[in-house]
Structure 1
Amino acid sequence: MAEQDEGRGQGARPARAPRRITSDYLQRAAMHYLERYSAPAAQLRRVLARKIVLSCRHHGEDPALHGAALDDVVSRCIASGLVDDQRFAEARAATLRRRGRSARAVAATLAAKGVARELVERVSSVDDDEELAAARKAARRKRLGPWSRGDRAASRQKDLAAMARAGFAITVARVVIDGSGDEDANCGTPI
């Protein structure tokens, strides 16, 4: 028992050494990643660069030697249509809006994934009705305002703060928190 590795149980296999970086290996790694996840070019580049750094650290190589291969693999994925930043941004923004995220939260999420600023602004912009519907969904999910179980007056400031942290404007948050809760979350009209 004293010979166990830190953090591993008895009988656990030792970690495999990372493979040496080749252009073919990077292409296979990119395909494997893109089979499982939709990603913009910047995210794919970060994932592959992390693999390069791990392998080079283990094998004593310089990661800068593989920069051209990394650029080539990412550009091939873009050229073949496997990586499309606009398609990714539109799909991710639609998913986040359906979950009740604010336009600011959508923009922050896309920017963190490496989507270009112009594309983030274009995709995350919504009209007032869509933002209000998203705020209602968020409030319902978090049980704020009309959907809370406690005293609404006592928790009003906390509910407004929660909506502000979620990225909603104070005017939108006030409408939702002070509302009756009988509006349909999809269109903003009474049921």
Structure 2
Amino acid sequence: MHADNPNHRKTPAGVHRRSEVTPVLIRRWAQEYVSRWYTPTASVRASLWRRAKKRVAKDELDATKVGTWIEQTLEELNSAGALDDARWARDKAESLLRRGTSLRAISQRLRAKGLNQSLVDQALSALRDEEQCSDPAWEAALAYARRRRFGPFQRGPAVKERRKQLASMARAGHSYAYSARIIDAQDEQDLEPD
């Protein structure tokens, strides 16, 4: 029938008609998101709400009903082990520590991702409890200095930029004592733990 009509526009391959928001659709969105990104529950919730809001007004759906569907979906993912905020917080804290982020900044970033304070505290205490990391604040300051090539990690002649380097480490949240010790060190052997 449509083949006879030259004005008929075919839908491109792979393009589907917009489906109505249902618990099944929300579950599919959540599973796609979780399969693509390693993320905390709050990020999945925010993503689902962003997608659902676009359709709730058009479909004249009750937002509380959609909210209930989203929470049920998140509970299912949590019970299935697809979402684990405690594990995500530990992994993210370890990653940030390795790149030289201060403990205070790690705490702030985890809170900004929607984690409650008890999960943040657990992640930070896990950093302190690890055997290879006796003082996580020192390890973070050292990693930051190494990455930014401060103190003994400078290449070429030592440039008199001590104040700038101290200011940079302070902005990154590292203590003055650790920062000064790292920047004033002559070589990496001076940085061995006490």
| TM bracket (short chain) | 0.7 to 0.9
In structure 1, what is the equivalent of residue 87 of structure 2? Answer: 87
* 1:8 alignment partner in structure 2: none
> 2:154 maps to what in 1?
148
1:10 paired residue number = none
Residues 19, 112 of structure 1: alpha-carbon distance in 2 compared, 3 angstrom cutoff:
farther
Q: Show the counterpart of 1:166.
A: 172
Shift of 1:80: 1.3
CA-based RMSD: 2.7
Amino acid at match of 2:166: L
Question: Would you say the 8 A contact 1:102–1:135 is kept in 2?
Answer: yes
Q: In structure 2, the residue corresponding to 1:154 is in which secondary structure?
A: coil
Paired letter, 1:147: F
Uncovered stretches (5+) of structure 1, i.e. residues with no partner = 1-14
Whole-Å separation in 2 of the counterparts to 1:164 and 1:17? 53
Q: Aligned partners of 1:82, 1:148: CA distance in 2, in Å?
A: 43
Which residue does 1:102 correspond to in 2?
A: 102
CA distance in structure 2 between the partners assigned to 1:143 and 1:58 by the alignment? 54
Letter in 2 for 1:163: M
Deviation at 1:57, TM superposition (A): 4.5
1:117 counterpart letter in structure 2? Q
What corresponds to 2:111 in structure 1?
Answer: 111
The residue identity in structure 2 corresponding to 1:81 is G
Unpaired runs of 5+ residues, structure 2, are 1-14, 129-133
SS across alignment from 1:21: coil
TM-score scaled by length of structure 2: 0.77
- Asked whether the equivalents of residues 18 and 55 of structure 1 are also in contact (C-alpha less than 8 Å), the reply is no
Task: Report the TM-score, using the length of structure 1 for normalisation.
Answer: 0.78
What are the Cα deviations for residues 40-96 of structure 1, in whole angstroms up to 9, with x where unaligned? Answer: 222211111111112224545453341110111111111111111111111111112
Residue 36 of structure 1 is matched in structure 2 by 36
Single out whichever of 21-30 and 38-47 deviates more from structure 2. Answer: 38-47
CA distance in 2, matches of 1:44, 1:88: 13
Q: 1:168 to 1:18 in 2, by over 3 A?
A: farther
Query: Displacement, 1:17?
Result: 7.7
Q: Tell me: CA distance 1:16–1:150, structure 2 relative to 1, closer, same or farther (3 Å).
A: farther
C-alpha distance after superposition, 1:124-151 (max 9, x if no partner)? 2455633212211111111222223477
What residue identity is the alignment partner of 2:31?
A: M
Going from structure 1 to structure 2, the CA distance change for 1:168 and 1:58 (only over 3 Å counts) comes to: farther
Bigger radius of gyration, 1 or 2?
2
Q: Distance in 1 between matches of 2:96 and 2:53?
A: 32
Counterpart selection for 1:175 from 169, 181, 187: 181
